Amino acid sequence: MLGLMQNMPLTISSLIRHADRNHGDTEIVSRETGGGLHRYTYHDAHRRSRQLARALIALGVRPSDRVASLAWNNHRHFELYYGVSGMGAILNTINPRLFPEQIGYIINHAEDGLVFFDLTFLPLVEGLAAHCKGVRSWVALTDRARMPESKLPLLCYEDLVNAHSDDYEWPLFDENTASSLCYTSGTTGNPKGALYSHRSTVLHAYGSCLPDALNLSARDTVLPVVPLFHVNAWGLPYACALTGARLVMPGPQLDGASLHELFEQEEVTVSAGVPTIWLGLLQYLKEKQLRLSTVKRLVIGGSAAPPALIRAFDEDFGITVLHAWGMTEMSPLGTVNTPKGKHLKLPAAELDRMRLNQGRPIYGVEMKIVDDSGKELPRDGKAFGDLLVRGPWIASGYYKGEGGDILREGGWFATGDVATLDADGYMQITDRSKDVIKSGGEWISSIELENLAVAHPAVAEAAVIGVAHPKWDERPLLIVVKKKDAEVSREQLLDFMRDKVAKWWLPDDVVFVDSLPHTATGKLLKTRLREDFREHQLPG
């Protein structure tokens, strides 16, 4: 017998309609690409998204067509999220920090018919056009007055939107219809597309707002530092509309001073981004002796949040850090670190230690760890193995079948992460499976050593990689960027780490560098480091 409940499809357009009807006067603020702040409301954004949908139809975009964006976090990019997906087409948000060849590959692979771009990316777009013959129009996200000179016949976003009325009803269709497409920026091979659906996006938005996840509400002002071109800004543009949270978007200016100004002026309560951003902001705040007077929660994810960072925000600034883990193939949220009631009575030192792991799964995400033969390992917080996940917002395959059948028996997706799980569901990433250091048949966690190193007051950033060793296969090498005007020697650093890890985990050597290479999404680029230090001679 089937239930007798209405079968309303979960569509992305229903989010912005809800925000308009119930939070119509709530503000969306964005820093424009050319400077200055733009302010309007959910009501305005809904109206313009419908005008945009009409404009897309007039440009020949049909359901399931791919439309690309190369843009910062701003109100026009937000409108693309709703206008494109809402009318049934697929928004392919592209990371402009990728190499131009990779961007060209993505546009061609996705068969994007239109590309909407911020003016910052005009030179990029002009270089790409000759290689992307399938693109019918390049649309500059600006108004007529700011339209640039170009050798390309560009369209103007504001002209398109203003030429159409908002008299448009969002279509209803199967909730499993594809809505957006994000390519993973893997460190090897061509990028692969994670293709989200309306259903997966709405369910992910529901899940991410839960009190033990990001805990969002209509009382929050949310500033996503995480780009709208990186896994849909962790779903925040959807979650904010769902809850009616006020939204502040920082545009291209992500330095400490610009962020601090926006946080204070707009009274931001929640923000989200990768550790690199927060390390930069923290340094700025300390240097200038500034506070973040309204921020309550910072979501840190995308790579392991160093304990020193979590503690600094908590202890020095009174801000709760929500350490979150996920990946492009997971929309992206998988786990968030929040304590349970029973933990609140723990001694401070133990509670502090608990806060450092990647947290427990949001309902909707199932996890297990397995050994090399696929056998499930115990949830005892000690055994570590390959982390597998499944759930309604986790990829079942890549766009156009790249990579073949990616699921294991039972529908499990292998994350490529190595982790422990405990009986309370808390997960701790030990490493990426490719980055773990294999020394004498045992595994050493590069992340744990990096966290230890950055806890030293003179260390700004650290990476640990395995370097070939005749006897042990691989031994850890610590590569360090020192803080400005700070001094520390190889011996001092190793001494600092010595009593905090097993003896055989201690790096064999330390190298000081000016900067570390990062991927386009801000992760340490360890493939490059392994190449650069392949010939490194370990002492002894």
Q: 356-395 mask for ligand AMP (x: CB under 6 A)?
A: --x-------------------------------------
Active site residue 111: no
The CA distances from residue 332 to 18, 239, 304, 356, 377, in Å, are: 23, 13, 15, 20, 24
Active site residue 438: yes
How many residues in the chain?
540
Long-range contacts of 308-312 (CB under 8 A, 24+ apart): 308/451, 308/454, 308/455, 309/275, 309/278, 309/279, 309/282, 309/454, 310/355, 310/356, 311/352, 312/282
Residue from 93, 331, 415, 446 binding ligand AMP (CB under 6 A): 415
Inter-residue contact 488 to 497 (CB < 8 Å): no
Please, what is the minimum distance in Å from the beta carbon of residue 231 to ligand AMP?
Answer: 6
Q: 271-310 mask for ligand AMP (x: CB under 6 A)?
A: ------------------------------xxxxx-----
Closer CB to ligand AMP, residue 147 or residue 455? 455
Active site residue 483: no
Q: Alpha-carbon distance 16 to 257, whole Å?
A: 32
Active site residue 184: yes
Q: 219-258 mask for ligand AMP (x: CB under 6 A)?
A: ------------x---------------------------
Annotated catalytic residue, options 261, 443, 474, 527: 443
Region of residue 249 (left: phi > 0; alpha: psi -120 to 50; beta: else) = beta
Please, what is the minimum distance in Å from the beta carbon of residue 416 to ligand AMP?
Answer: 6
Does residue number 526 form part of the binding site for ligand AMP (CB under 6 A)? no
Please, what is the minimum distance in Å from the beta carbon of residue 431 to ligand AMP?
Answer: 8
Does residue number 521 form part of the binding site for ligand AMP (CB under 6 A)? yes
Closer CB to ligand AMP, residue 45 or residue 274? 274
Does residue number 92 form part of the binding site for ligand AMP (CB under 6 A)? no
Annotated catalytic residue, options 184, 294, 320, 527: 184
Closer CB to ligand AMP, residue 186 or residue 392? 186
The CA distances from residue 414 to 269, 300, 326, 385, 488, in Å, are: 35, 23, 12, 11, 40
User: Which residues have a Cβ under 8 Å from the Cβ of 489 and sit 6 or more positions away?
Assistant: none
Closer CB to ligand AMP, residue 30 or residue 446? 446
Please, what is the minimum distance in Å from the beta carbon of residue 329 to ligand AMP?
Answer: 7
Residue from 325, 393, 413, 426 binding ligand AMP (CB under 6 A): 325
| Token pair listed for 408 | 């294991």
Instruction: Determine how many CB atoms are found less than 10 A away from the CB of residue 316.
Output: 12
Please identify, among the stretches 22-30, 42-50, 121-129, 415-423, the one whose residues bind ligand AMP according to the rule CB under 6 A.
415-423
Q: Name beta bridge partners: 442.
A: 439
User: Which residues have a Cβ under 8 Å from the Cβ of 183 and sit 6 or more positions away?
Assistant: 92, 94, 95, 106, 109, 110, 191, 192, 193, 194, 328
β-pair type (112-117, 385-390): unpaired
Does residue number 416 form part of the binding site for ligand AMP (CB under 6 A)? yes
Q: Alpha-carbon distance 226 to 231, whole Å?
A: 9
Longest dimension (CA), the chain: 75
Please, what is the minimum distance in Å from the beta carbon of residue 482 to ligand AMP?
Answer: 24
Please identify, among the stretches 278-286, 317-325, 480-488, 508-516, the one whose residues bind ligand AMP according to the rule CB under 6 A.
317-325
Please, what is the minimum distance in Å from the beta carbon of residue 382 to ligand AMP?
Answer: 19
Annotated catalytic residue, options 286, 340, 400, 438: 438
Does residue number 327 form part of the binding site for ligand AMP (CB under 6 A)? yes
| Token pair listed for 177 | 């219809």
Inter-residue contact 361 to 425 (CB < 8 Å): yes
Please, what is the minimum distance in Å from the beta carbon of residue 285 to ligand AMP?
Answer: 22
Please identify, among the stretches 319-327, 347-355, 436-444, 530-538, the one whose residues bind ligand AMP according to the rule CB under 6 A.
319-327
Does residue number 332 form part of the binding site for ligand AMP (CB under 6 A)? yes
Q: Alpha-carbon distance 345 to 357, whole Å?
A: 18
Please, what is the minimum distance in Å from the beta carbon of residue 445 to ligand AMP?
Answer: 11
Please, what is the minimum distance in Å from the beta carbon of residue 357 to ligand AMP?
Answer: 9
Closer CB to ligand AMP, residue 45 or residue 429? 429
Cis ω for the linkage preceding 332 (within 30 of 0): yes
Size of the site for ligand AMP (CB under 6 A): 21
Q: Is the dihedral of CA 423, 424, 427, 430 positive or negative?
A: negative
Does residue number 429 form part of the binding site for ligand AMP (CB under 6 A)? yes
User: Which residues have a Cβ under 8 Å from the Cβ of 99 and sit 6 or more positions away?
Assistant: none
Closer CB to ligand AMP, residue 240 or residue 304? 304
Burial of 481-495, coded b for 16+ CB within 10 Å and e otherwise, reads bbeeeeebeeeebbe
Closer CB to ligand AMP, residue 26 or residue 415? 415
Does residue number 184 form part of the binding site for ligand AMP (CB under 6 A)? yes
Inter-residue contact 295 to 270 (CB < 8 Å): yes
Question: What would the 3-class secondary structure string for 325-381 be?
Answer: EECHHHCCEEEECCCCHHHHHCCHHHHHHHCCCCEEECCCCEEEEECCCCCECCCCC
The footprint of ligand AMP (CB under 6 A) covers: 184, 231, 301-305, 323-328, 332, 358, 415-417, 429, 432, 521
Active site residues per annotation: 184, 329, 438, 443
